[in-house]
A = this chain, B = another copy of it.
Amino acid sequence: MSHDTDIARSAELADALGAIALDSETAKHEQVRNRLIEVIELLQSGDRLPPERELAARFGVSRMTLRQAISGLASAGYVVRVQGDGTFVADPTISKSSELTGFSEDMAARGFRPSSRLLAISHVSAGAALGQELVISPEEMVFHLERVRMADGIPMCLETIDLPARLTPGLDQQPLDQSLYEILRAVYGIELFEADQVILPTVVNQEQADLLRVPVHSPALIVKRIGYDKKRRPIERAMSIYRGDRYDIRMTVRRNPT
């Protein structure tokens, strides 16, 4: 790396770091984190970040607060910290980590335009198995919906979702060709926080093959998921079948993600 490049970088950095107005609504470490992401996007992978003490001074926060921000970035895979040396912009990885994302986000991140076709929606009682998974009475009503999810208009996955109707009254009046997670958030104030997932392989049957426009018995991935909110109350049970020829699951896993 040439000296000139370093100087050019420094100038960019100074720009990006200048004039920070911290508002009082958001936690400081979060504001700092967001500022740092902007800075990182100006740099290239492998570039060294300014020392923590200097960054803290520039942002006008204590070093502990600055470190809290950087810790978030490190665990999200943006930067790598090396004791005794410095903090460096990480290589772009396949995915930042294995996060909980909806289909819409997932596809958008891969550069496709997501869309949906609603196949069916019904309002039925949960029954024993589903009731147990969602921790509700078997008699309680749920919305059951089936969709084809598409990327750039190409069918990618068949999705079956069940949600307690109590949590989402009038869900059948919503535009279900859009992001369900977005509807949950905006209309019902429900935020999915975590999910337990199981991934298995299968081959598609005739009906699934027709919907996905692949040959019968093509390999496919089944993803079963139970989604929870922040207090680990079950929100949804989902089962998705992804065509194997155009979809894969990518993730970065780490040792001891403490």
Residues of A within 8 A of B (CB): 33, 64, 72, 75-76, 80, 82, 90-91, 93-94, 97-100, 191-203, 217, 219-221, 231-232, 244, 248-258
Contact A198 B91 (CB under 8 A): no
Distance in angstroms from A169 CB to nearest chain B CB is 24
Contacts A97-B257, A255-B100; is A219 near B199 (CB within 8 Å)? no
Contact B198 A94 (CB under 8 A): yes
Across the interface, name the chain B residue whose C-beta is closest to A200. B248
**Which of chain B's residues have a CB closer than 8 A to the CB of A257?**
75-76, 97, 99, 257
Distance in angstroms from A183 CB to nearest chain B CB is 16
CA–CA, A203 and B97, complex, Å: 28
CA–CA, A14 and B52, complex, Å: 40
Distance in angstroms from A98 CB to nearest chain B CB is 5
Contact A196 B252 (CB under 8 A): yes
CA–CA, A250 and B198, complex, Å: 4
Distance in angstroms from A46 CB to nearest chain B CB is 10
Contact B255 A194 (CB under 8 A): yes
Contacts A82-B231, A100-B254, A100-B255; is A221 near B200 (CB within 8 Å)? yes
Across the interface, name the chain B residue whose C-beta is closest to A196. B94
* Given A90-B232, A196-B250, 15 further pairs, Cβ under 8 A: A75-B257, A94-B196, A94-B198, A99-B253, A193-B255, A195-B252, A197-B252, A198-B248, A199-B199, A199-B221, A199-B248, A199-B249, A200-B221, A201-B219, A202-B244
**Which of chain B's residues have a CB closer than 8 A to the CB of A254?**
99-100, 193-194
Distance in angstroms from A74 CB to nearest chain B CB is 10
**Which of chain B's residues have a CB closer than 8 A to the CB of A232?**
80, 90-91
Contact B255 A197 (CB under 8 A): no
